[in-house]
Amino acid sequence: MGFAKLRYLTGLSALALTMTACETVPTSNKAVDNNQVAASDNKHQSDKWSYIGESGPNYWGGLRPEYSQCDAGDQQSPINIANTIAADISSSIINWSPFIPTIVNNGHTIEVKSPTGNTVILDGKSFELVQFHFHHTSEHTINDHQYPMEAHFVHKADDGKLAVLAVLFAEDQANQQLTEIWGASPAVIGEITANFTLDPNQLLPVDRQHYRYQGSLTTPPCSQIVSWVVFKQKLTISAKQIAAFSTVFGENVRPVQNTNRRYITRSR
Ligand SMILES: [Zn+2]
How does pLDDT run across 101-113, given as a tens digit for each residue? Answer: 999 999 999 999 9
* Three-state secondary structure call for residue 246: helix
* Helix, strand, coil shares, percent, the chain, to 5: 25, 30, 45
Distance 16 CA to ligand 1 centre (A): 26
Question: pTM of the predicted model, to two decimals?
Answer: 0.84
Distance 156 CA to ligand 1 centre (A): 14
Number of domains observed in the structure of the chain: 1
The mean pLDDT of 41-49, rounded to a whole number, is: 53
Distance 81 CA to ligand 1 centre (A): 16
Q: Which CATH number belongs to the domain containing residue 121 in this structure?
A: 3.10.200.10
Query: Sign of dihedral through CA atoms 231, 227, 58, 41?
Result: positive
Per-residue pLDDT at 7? 39
Distance 130 CA to ligand 1 centre (A): 12
Distance 133 CA to ligand 1 centre (A): 6
The mean pLDDT of 127-133, rounded to a whole number, is: 98
Query: Which protein residues have their CB within 5 A of the ion that is ligand 1?
Result: 152
Active site residue ranges: 108
What's the pLDDT tens digit per position in 11-43?
223 333 333 333 333 333 333 333 333 333 334
Distance 245 CA to ligand 1 centre (A): 15
Tell me which residue range forms the domain holding 212.
Answer: 3-267
In angstroms, the CA 188 to CA 32 distance is: 9
> Contact at 8 Å (CB) between 252 and 51?
yes
Q: Which amino acid is at 59?
A: Y
- Which run of H or E residues covers position 150? strand 149-156
The mean pLDDT of 151-180, rounded to a whole number, is: 98
Distance 155 CA to ligand 1 centre (A): 12
* Of 22, 17, 19, nearest in space to 5 by CA: 17
Per-residue pLDDT at 90? 79
> Contact at 8 Å (CB) between 69 and 61?
yes
Per-residue pLDDT at 3? 54
